[in-house]
Amino acid sequence: MPDIFGVIADATRRDILQALLERHVQQAEMSVSEIVGRLEISQPTVSKHLKVLREAELVVVREEGQHRFYSLDPEPLEMVEDFVIPFLSAGFETEVTVEYLSESGERVHGPGEHDEFDEVLPEEATAAAERIGRAAARAEHRVKELVARFKLRG
């Protein structure tokens, strides 16, 4: 696989990725001719850049007769995110304290905190709690990323 940083270093490829991202959000594809029209560059140039993006596994192509339809695969960009986030959040305090309260406002035990007499959660509740925990971790990561970006712009 080509070096992802070299692939996204090119402005035209970033423009193509941006166009595909807009369609990705809509769960749609773009034809080569749509990309050509949107970026106002030649078809051979677009095809050359799409080939590089394909080799980097940043786009997926679906062939239908002589037509090619492209969609974004953002997964390889997670490597870039993993590299960049520590730089954006350097010096930024991100520790979050969570306190669990009952409906009446009394503090209750959180995950991993329990007395010997506490009831163990049923299996379905445990699975649901794990899903919620993963979602909270993803949300925390996204908040840290946005705050770091805000700090850079501010």
- How confident is the model over 111-120, as pLDDT tens digits? 666 555 455 6
Give φ, ψ of 130 to 5 degrees: -65, -40
pLDDT of residue 132: 86
pLDDT bin (cut points 50, 70, 90) of residue 13 is very high
Q: Any idea how long the chain is? A: 154
pLDDT of residue 117: 47
pLDDT of residue 56: 93
Q: Is 42 helix (H, G, I), strand (E, B) or coil?
A: coil
> Do the beta carbons of residue 14 and residue 8 sit within 8 Å?
yes
**Cα angle, residue 101 at apex, residues 96 and 102 outer, rounded to 5°:** 160
Residue 153 predicted with pLDDT over 80: no
Rounded mean pLDDT of 116-141? 74
Only one residue has tokens 């699975």, namely: 127
Distance CA 148, CA 154 (A): 10
Task: Select the more confidently predicted residue: 131 or 67.
Answer: 67
Within the chain, strands assigned E span 30-31, 59-64, 67-72, 100-101, 107-108
Percentage of the chain surpassing pLDDT 70?
81
Residue 92 predicted with pLDDT over 70: no
* Pick from 50, 69, 70: nearest CA to 7: 50
Residue 8 predicted with pLDDT over 90: yes
pLDDT bin (cut points 50, 70, 90) of residue 51 is very high
pLDDT of residue 1: 54
Residue 138 predicted with pLDDT over 60: yes
Rounded mean pLDDT of 3-19? 94
pLDDT of residue 123: 76
